Amino acid sequence: MTDSTAERAAMQRALALAATAGVPLGPNPRVGCVLLTPDGDVVAEGFHRGAGTPHAEADALARAGTAARGTTAVVTLEPCNHTGRTGPCAQALLAAGVARVVFAQADPTPVAAGGADTLRAAGVDVKGGLLAEESAHLNRAWTFGVAHDRPLVTWKFATTLDGRSAAADGTSRWVSGPASRLDTHRLRGECDTMLVGTSTAVIDDPQLTVRGADDQPLAHQPLRAVMGLRDLPADLRVLDDSAPSLRLLTRDPAAALAELFALGRRHVFLEGGPRLAAAFLRAGLVDEVVTYVAPMLLGAGRSSVADLGITTIAGALHLEPTDVTVLGSGAETNVRLTMTPRYDAVVTAHPGDAARVALREDH
């Protein structure tokens, strides 16, 4: 049996269910499930709502009841094969009498993988890979965490054409236009943690909330993390009650990410200043760069990134563009560049240079 039009439509619906607003972005993957009759009619739908709640398959099966027998389960992730906070979905599908399972992304976790083989061994018709790329994109931070045991890190900054994030007098308000600022809030909402250093928290006093087109805070707010050892005034906006906040009492990027990962955080949106960005870049811990470039020149002012310990062009850190988008118009036009750092392409002329560059002050 090949993938039918109904199964493809069901998978698209399952992906939409998995992406339901308000579903936690970690530590579990977002998963949706649709049960179909042999004729392609929808029997029931379900999706996972976060750690400790029923998995998508279990949610759909509970809604279907006895009508689940003989159906096709269309699910965005290979059914799990282990007992954690909930039972194995592969066994639940077998117990319900499901006849066919179509999944998108294979489960990359060693402890949970193998559900497809269990189902096949029991006589269930199983097909994987339908809209796998879309499913992997939906759970890219979770998948990254499985592979690397740390959160995915996106560094975002706004800059002039000559690489300045602020003018000589410290003003930076108009480096990014309204369309870019709204786009930044969209990207913030796709992460579960926003991270700044203590210098940014004290000097800029950002609130770091996610707001909509009406400039009102959205219901879902990522964790606001402040990294560094400096004492912070209690009245800083980043410490208010508009969103959860966390102090990371370390200067070490790897230690900060390890603490966040242990708390179930899977996607960090790095919005700190040039020194914090440089620290993460020197450690090879920036996985994606999103920059909004304004078509203006300042000639002086704060650089977008601090010293990286690079002393020769041969040691430059190269970035591979994955998207270029023009936002806004007229004097408020920005170009959004999305790039992937190529740490494997760095040629260091003087080994140890980067290691000798210490942070000049607390983040």
Omega of the bond prior to 341 within 30 degrees of 0, cis? no
What CA–CA distance (Å, rounded) separates 244 from 223?
A: 5
Q: What Rg, from alpha-carbon coordinates, does the chain have?
A: 23
Q: What is the DSSP letter of 39?
A: T
> What is the spatial distance between Cα 225 and Cα 117, in angstroms, rounded to a whole number?
41
Return the biggest CA–CA distance within the chain.
71
- Which of 57, 78, 271, 288 is an active site residue? 57
Can you tell me the distance from the alpha carbon of 283 to that of 351, in angstroms, rounded to the nearest whole number?
A: 14
Which residues partner with 168 through β-bridges? none
Structure tokens at 33: 């499930």
Active site residue 57: yes
- Lateral strand order in the sheet of 32-36: 42-47, 32-36, 72-77, 100-105, 125-128
Taking CA atoms, 154 is separated from 126, 175, 287, 305, in Å, by 36, 20, 6, 14
Contact 211, 242 (CB under 8 A): no
Strands 125-128 and 267-270: unpaired
Q: What are the catalytic residues?
A: 57
